[in-house]
Amino acid sequence: MLTAEPNLHPLRNLLLAILSGVLLTFAFPPGHVSFVAWFALVPLLISTETASPLRALRLGLISGLAHYLTLIYWIIVVLERYGNLHILVALFSLLLLSLYLSFYLALFSCLTSCIKGSRFSLVLMACFWVALEYLKSNLLTGFPWCLLGYTQYKQLYLIQTADLFGVYGISFLIVFANGLIFRILARDRRQTYTSLKWELPVLVLLLAGALIYGHYHVSGSRTDKKAGQSVNTAIVQANIDQSVKWDPAYQEETIRTYQRLTRSARSFKPQLIVWPETSLPFFFQDSLRFSPEMFSLAEESGAILIFGSPAYKRIQGAIRYYNRAYMIAPDAQQVKYYDKMHLVPFGEYVPLKKYLPFINRLVTAAGDFATGEKLTPLNTGDLSLGTLICFEAIFPELARTLAREGANIFVNITNDAWFGMTSAPYQHLSMAVFRAVENRRPMVRAANTGFSAFIEPTGAIRSQSHLLTEQVLEGSVTPGTSPLTFYSRYGDLFAIALLIISFARILSCLWVRQRQR
């Protein structure tokens, strides 16, 4: 016989769940309140303190919607302004994606509710969170945008453990801290005493260990005397408006802008010049008018030139289009290139378009690119440039592969003009920082409208452009010489281990409930 649940103050719990969602968003860039992440989940945990797993699931879903609708609102700008979709379609797309992402937070709330009062519940809570982040990052092509650990990208001492555990290690610590704060505020004084006696010392030890490890790496990098020869590098940010970027009448002005900015760095004597993704709004491979000028510019500057351009191949009578990064060396006419491997769903290709004809109509607005064939660095001389195009920088496995292939400098070319003046460029930059730390390789980041940046192997942003400005960044980059990190070699062992632990605990809970029935 079913019994009614106790009065759970539904309005209060609803507001607490929404508050958690909003606090989570505040913790991410462009704000400067990353410390909020360390208690953002507490209101949600309070709201589910006496809730059944089903009610906790609902509250988690509401909290997730409050979070993701305010975090990735910029999708409306991308789809409505530049994708030429109706505002209602753009809103529906935002809601649909937010619902999907909120489901993971809902599962977290439900699972956390199931282990109330059990031993090691705070550790299990953090395990559940990391396991769900890992699933979100890999299922359905993956969408690891703004995982919780990314909120701390400016806390250099803290994030150095990313070369061991990836961003998931930081997420684990944050959720553990949230659980401990919640436990201290909980009604059950006995559990509060247990937490203060056992779990607080564990958290303090983990944080202290992370900070000591971070201090060692950050201070060690400043006094590293084994560093190799630095490379003078210029990043060209032309700030080309997306609304005119692909207008054939604007092609010449685009080229002249890039040439002018590149020549303005002549006194710096750059050895490497990087332009953003699709900086050439035409097919470089067969442009009789502009392509020769690119070779002349590389020869004139005496620098290696990297730039983005669309490309195509004819394969068995069909034409396949690619989002490509080219490299021209000053001393040869030979061109090397890399084709983007991880495409943006509905942005660069339409999933299942052969089987869902009504989705196929979006192709003209969304684009239709093919996946590149191989992920390898662009090599010239002693430089091995691991190129990541646009949001490939948010996928750690791509950067790890490039590091294992010998990349000693990461080059991230992107076109964040799609986002306009929103929070997305700030969020995008924060995630790129972790790729440098995880693999102990510097990163050169060139963005069409910003943020372009030089990122050290410690994650320190040495210099950064302004958003929506025409700018040239100049800096010396020292290719990475350190051995492959644990994370570069073995990847997400930490997250996978927590996924296995979480799965085992869920099976245990189901088995116990079945026996009780």
Which residues are catalytically annotated? 277, 340, 390
> Within 10 Å of residue 374's Cβ, how many Cβ atoms?
8
| C-alpha–C-alpha distance, residues 125 and 102, integer Å | 17
* Residue closest to 151 by CA, chosen among 297, 39, 19: 39
Residue 431: phi and psi, rounded to 5, are -80, -35
Task: Give the list of residues 6+ apart from residue 39 with CB closer than 8 angstroms, or none.
Answer: 23, 177, 178, 181
Q: How far apart are CA 115 and CA 100, in angstroms?
A: 24
Which one-letter DSSP state was computed for residue 345?
B
The 3-state secondary structure of 221-258 reads: HHCCCCCCCCEEEEEEECCCCHHHHCCHHHHHHHHHHH
pTM (2 d.p.): 0.92
CA-CA distance, 272 to 263, in Å (whole number)?
Answer: 13
Report residue 223 as tokens: 């006094």
Q: For 480, phi and psi rounded to 5 degrees?
A: -65, 130
Structure tokens at 414: 């992107």
Residue whose C-alpha is closest to residue 477's, from 348, 386, 402, 416: 386
Nearest C-alpha neighbor of 224 from the set 216, 232, 213: 216
Q: What is the pLDDT along the chain (517 residues), one digit of tens a residue?
A: 334 444 447 899 999 999 999 999 999 999 889 999 999 999 999 999 889 999 999 999 999 999 999 999 999 988 888 777 889 988 999 999 999 999 999 999 999 999 887 778 899 999 999 999 999 999 988 999 999 999 999 999 999 999 999 999 999 999 999 999 998 887 666 666 666 778 889 999 999 999 999 999 998 765 455 567 899 999 999 999 887 887 888 889 999 999 999 999 999 999 999 999 999 998 999 888 888 999 999 999 999 999 999 999 998 888 999 999 999 998 876 799 999 999 887 777 766 666 555 555 444 445 678 899 999 999 998 999 999 999 999 999 999 999 999 999 999 999 998 898 999 999 999 999 999 999 999 999 999 998 999 999 999 999 999 999 999 999 999 999 899 999 999 999 999 999 999 999 999 888 877 777 6
Residues pairing with 461 in the sheet:
455
Contacts of 435 (CB under 8 A, 6+ apart): 388, 393, 396, 399, 410, 412, 441, 443
To which H or E segment does residue 112 belong?
helix 87-114
Question: Do 472 and 237 form a contact (C-beta atoms < 8 A)?
Answer: yes
Question: What span, in angstroms and rounded, lies between the C-alpha atoms of 468 and 466?
Answer: 7
List CB contacts of 463: < 8 A, sequence separation 6 or more.
453, 454, 473, 475
Q: Domain spanning 231-477 has what CATH number? A: 3.60.110.10
What is the per-residue pLDDT for 331?
80
Task: Give the helix/strand (H/E) hosting 313.
Answer: strand 304-315
Q: Between the CA of residue 368 and those of 192, 321, 351, 360, what are the distances in Å?
A: 55, 7, 10, 10
Give residue limits of the domains in the chain: 10-221+492-516, 231-477
Residue 443's SS3 state is strand
**What stretches of 354-478 adopt beta strand conformation (E)?**
378-380, 383-389, 409-414, 443-447, 453-455, 461-464, 471-477
List the structure tokens of 77. Answer: 């700008």
Q: Are the C-beta atoms of residues 429 and 444 closer than 8 Å to each other? A: no
Exposed e or buried b for every residue in 229-267, given b needs 16+ CB within 10 A?
eebbbbbbbbbbebeebeeeebbeebbebbbebbeebee
Residue/partner pairs of 509-515 with CB below 8 Å, 24 or more apart: 509/114, 509/115
Q: Which residues, at least 6 apart from 372, have a Cβ–Cβ distance to it below 8 Å?
A: 322, 338, 339, 340, 341
At 369, list the tokens: 């690119």
